[in-house]
């Protein structure tokens, strides 16, 4: 009997736990005390739909105490939760916007939250503007001097543009583009160093916050440094390129001259070969002349005498190299 009583107590305890889990009676009392009209059946159905009743009730209590009970409804919170939204952020954002007199309704807040943006942080940024530091932006003035500028952009969230509006990256890119354009249009880098506020004034006039989720309040130049002399560097690079081109053309002419010289040598060798070939035909012609009787023996000797005289004159006109005609060694 004792064992049966223990089992019955355990079963009863489990049933009570399941009852209070699916029917949060204490949570219903808390909602009633806070002035939120919600029934136990609705809390039970939330458990069935796998919606946390405690979170829904706490959001309803917060909205009711802030005077937003008519705008924030149970069905709206449940639908937003089931869609994957953050109902606590939305409720906090609505309460903060109401206290700061910012025009934000429940539909817009849920749309901003489902778009992936933190709607509560956006409301805070609308009240307390955010300062964004830009990375160093390098630009070159018309005199060829490079300037490196850093800016601080003060922005405020634009609630109406949070859905579909560009983010901080677009703001930074546009501000960098404006700084480059402003410095590039300056005649001298000295004028930029003397009046750095001219950059921020020119950038602000361009309306860089169009189509973004932010409103630019101010752009301040935090630091500006002198970089390289880009103009002189470009001139040096151009001179180096011209020198390389001239060297290439000189090498091309030299190669053409060497090729022409080799061609002339080849032609000279070819002509010499033809001369040798012609000289080889002379004895044949002389033998043919002897056989046909066109050349006599006296003519032949006369020709040899002429060749000997010619050789002697050549030896006299062109003396031999030193050491080439050494006296013969005396025998012992």
Between 128 and 3, the more confident residue is 128
Residue 330 pLDDT > 50: no
Question: What's the rounded mean pLDDT across residues 294-320?
Answer: 76
Tell me the C-alpha to C-alpha distance, in Å, between residue 243 and each of 169, 238, 251.
Answer: 44, 9, 12
List pLDDT tens digits, range 29-88. 888 888 888 888 888 888 888 888 888 888 888 888 888 878 888 888 889 998 988 989
Question: What's the rounded mean pLDDT across residues 129-142?
Answer: 87
Residue with tokens 């409804």: 73
Residue with tokens 């700061």: 100
Q: Please tell me the number of Cα atoms within 13 Å of 97 on its side-chain side.
A: 24
Confidence band, pLDDT 50/70/90 cuts, at residue 332? very low
Residue 225 pLDDT > 70: yes
Residue 237 pLDDT > 80: yes
Question: What's the rounded mean pLDDT across residues 283-296?
Answer: 77
Give percent of the chain above pLDDT 90. 2
DSSP letter, residue 103: -
Between 1 and 117, the more confident residue is 117
Q: Where are the domains of the chain?
A: 2-127, 134-232
The CATH number for 134-232, chosen from 3.30.479.30, 3.10.20.30, 3.20.20.70, 3.40.50.150, is 3.30.479.30
Report the range of poorest mean pLDDT among 152-166, 195-209, 250-264, 311-325. 311-325
101 φ/ψ sector (left φ>0, alpha ψ -120 to 50, else beta): left
- CA atoms 83, 89, 92, 98: torsion sign: negative
DSSP bridge pairs for 137: 149
Question: What's the rounded mean pLDDT across residues 114-139?
Answer: 87
């Amino acid at each position: 009997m004792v064992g049966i009583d223990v089992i019955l107590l355990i079963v009863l305890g489990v049933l009570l736990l399941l009852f209070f889990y699916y029917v949060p009676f204490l949570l219903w009392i808390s909602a009633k005390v806070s002035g939120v009209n919600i029934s136990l059946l609705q809390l039970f159905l939330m458990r069935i739909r796998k919606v946390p009743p405690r979170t829904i009730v706490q959001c309803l209590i917060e909205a009711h105490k802030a005077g937003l009970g008519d705008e924030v409804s149970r069905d709206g919170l449940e639908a937003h939760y089931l869609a994957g939204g953050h109902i606590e952020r939305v409720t906090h954002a609505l309460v903060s916007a109401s206290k700061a007199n910012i025009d934000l309704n429940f539909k817009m807040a849920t749309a901003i939250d489902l778009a992936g943006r933190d709607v509560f942080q956006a409301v805070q940024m609308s009240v307390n503007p955010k300062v964004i530091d830009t990375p160093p932006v390098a630009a070159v003035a018309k005199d060829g001097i490079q300037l490196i500028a850093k800016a601080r952009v003060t922005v405020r969230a634009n609630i109406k543009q949070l859905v579909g509006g560009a983010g901080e990256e677009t703001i930074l890119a546009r501000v960098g583009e404006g700084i480059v354009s402003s410095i590039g249009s300056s005649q001298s880098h000295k004028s930029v160093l003397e009046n750095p506020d001219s950059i921020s004034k020119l950038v602000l006039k361009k309306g860089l916050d169009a189509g973004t989720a932010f409103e630019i309040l101010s752009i301040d130049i935090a630091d500006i440094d002198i970089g390289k002399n880009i103009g002189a560097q470009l001139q040096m690079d151009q001179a180096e390129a011209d020198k390389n081109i001239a060297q290439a053309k000189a090498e091309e002419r030299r190669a053409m001259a060497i090729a022409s010289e080799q061609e002339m040598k080849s032609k000279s060798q070819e002509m010499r070969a033809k001369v040798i070939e012609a000289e080889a035909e002379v004895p044949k012609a002389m033998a043919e002349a002897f056989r046909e009787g066109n050349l006599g023996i006296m003519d032949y000797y006369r020709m040899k005498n002429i060749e000997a005289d010619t050789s002697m004159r050549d030896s006299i006109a062109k003396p031999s190299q030193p050491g080439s005609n050494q006296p013969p060694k005396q025998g012992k």
